[in-house]
Structure 1
């Protein structure tokens, strides 16, 4: 029988968040960062592609934690205001495309970047490592744009049936709305065990695209920090549906004043 794991701030703060942060570095930076936090980590590979513009880069890396018995996949997020502007423009003015696991649609921009990375062997490498390390979990994470890519990666991994949903931990930070309500429903149904979107106060990115535009919607479960997120900060597990009005959405009107 599968058991839904509860959100634990220390685990996310000390284990998962450093992985999302490390994705912004070079191969050497990632390796050095991981070794400081996880002495038994093995850095496997880092892939880098252009995000539809030659001056915008997107990336993903894979590593293995032998102590945690986990294969890690982390996606780099938006790293400049101009990349965020391009991201918003492409998401709003390009048609959505079918999601990788057949539920609803996702933004073309996110899907296109994920496919660029995946063609270089991201999912293939995960499958290879799962065969080498049977019974290991797969931890998938990313910040901002990286969160959207992480969600699509998790959906594809579920669709491949190479690993059960109870073995996947998906945690994103400041993730934009990645797809429509059909995609959100698919994520809720297929990844119900450890699937958390961490949001913070007035973060603009989590409101993009607007909920009222083209049926874009978040999936659950949102973990909301209405503070500075320092160690010991209070957080809330949002239970008011996929779009809880008492969490990040309480600040949604700031988007229209941006």
Structure 2
């Protein structure tokens, strides 16, 4: 498949500056020196090997920051960008495939890639987030005004927009490829991730793999970043039971997207467990594991759920997510 050009992948960040704050101002505000980043990497290289006999249950910032988040960022890039990111993150890996489909919006596309980390004994699947302003507009409109569809659980509903995009990608062979690789790489885990729209797609993919393909949930790690509400309370309840092993939604304070669609609309609800950063997400800064139900009032919802109290968060872990992926996951 011909690689997609990357010229428009950061477009949303240029077209949609939060509350009239320029991206230059944001970059200066959240800047961290490359020296500090390199030092943090060097002191956090000893990651556990995850397999059937040794399983990590708890959220660890360094694992998410250095192993999972770069995958979500890499999904914004071309095949070359993805391989560059994998080279930066994983000592030994195999890039398998990057699927791209057309989705709603002017010149909009959606994508997912799959790779294997030999070092970590993991099959990694990452979905790209919203890449243009018009795509975000379609996402909001169709989520609000299109009927929800029955989830893969057969209980609870998900937004038509998210389900439709996932279905297009899955027809290309996404979950089928995961199953094929699991048969080849016995005992490996499946790590699934995505940012923004990609987080919603990652959740639906994880639900299908666990519920329909019968992958044991203790073999799956689902981590999303800035994920919108993907389904209703019924879907959230099933996610909490069928994907309770290692399932985290990473949220930075005042992120607009995590409040879309509004909670009061059509019973949309987040599933647990939220990991909340009420700071700039610098290395060593605190985070909170939110235990107050699926919608903890002391976490992302503490600032209210109306758009006036939120901004479009483009920086996570001090990185502009799309730009970081397009850079090959170095610097940013």
TM-score band (shorter)? over 0.9
Which residue in 2 is equivalent to 1:169? 221
Q: Deviations over 1:107-164 (max 9, x none)?
A: 0000000000000000010010010011110000000000000000000001234420
CA contact (8 A) 1:48 1:58 kept: yes
Question: Residue 250 in 1 paired to residue 302 in 2?
Answer: yes
Q: Does 1:73 align with 2:119?
A: no
Contact 1:4–1:193 (CA under 8 A) maintained in structure 2: no
2:85 to 17, 33, 43: 33
Equivalent in the alignment of 1:139: 191
Q: Give 1:114-129 correspondences, 5 Å limit.
A: 114-129=166-181
Matched, 1:58 2:110: yes
Q: Retained in 2: the 8 A contact 1:207–1:252?
A: no
Flag the structure with more relative contact order, 1 or 2, with Cα contacts below 8 A and sequence separation at least 6. Answer: 2
Partner of 1:94: 146
**Runs (5+) with no aligned partner, structure 2:** 1-52, 311-332
* Structure 1 counterpart of 2:67, from 15, 24, 29: 15
Task: State which structure, 1 or 2, has the greater radius of gyration over its C-alpha atoms.
Answer: 2
Report the TM-score, using the length of structure 2 for normalisation: 0.75
Are positions 1:212 and 2:260 aligned together? Answer: no
Identify the residue that residue 231 of structure 1 maps to in structure 2: 283
2:201 counterpart residue number: 149
Q: Helix, strand or coil: the match of 1:44?
A: strand
How much does 1:37 deviate? Answer: 1.4
Number of residue pairs matched by the alignment: 258
1:187 match: secondary structure? helix
Q: In structure 1, how many angstroms separate the alpha carbons of the residues matched to 2:207 and 2:54?
A: 19
Larger mean CA deviation between 134-143 and 76-85 belongs to 76-85
User: In 2, are the aligned partners of 1:23 and 1:75 still within 8 Å (CA)?
Assistant: yes
Larger mean Cα displacement after TM superposition, 31-40 or 134-143: 31-40
**So what's the TM-score if we normalise by structure 1?**
0.96
Partner of 2:6: none
What SS does structure 2 have at the residue aligned with 1:186? helix
The question of whether the paired residues in 2 share the 8 Å contact of 1:147 and 1:174 is answered with yes
* Moved beyond 4 Å, runs of 4+: 1-4
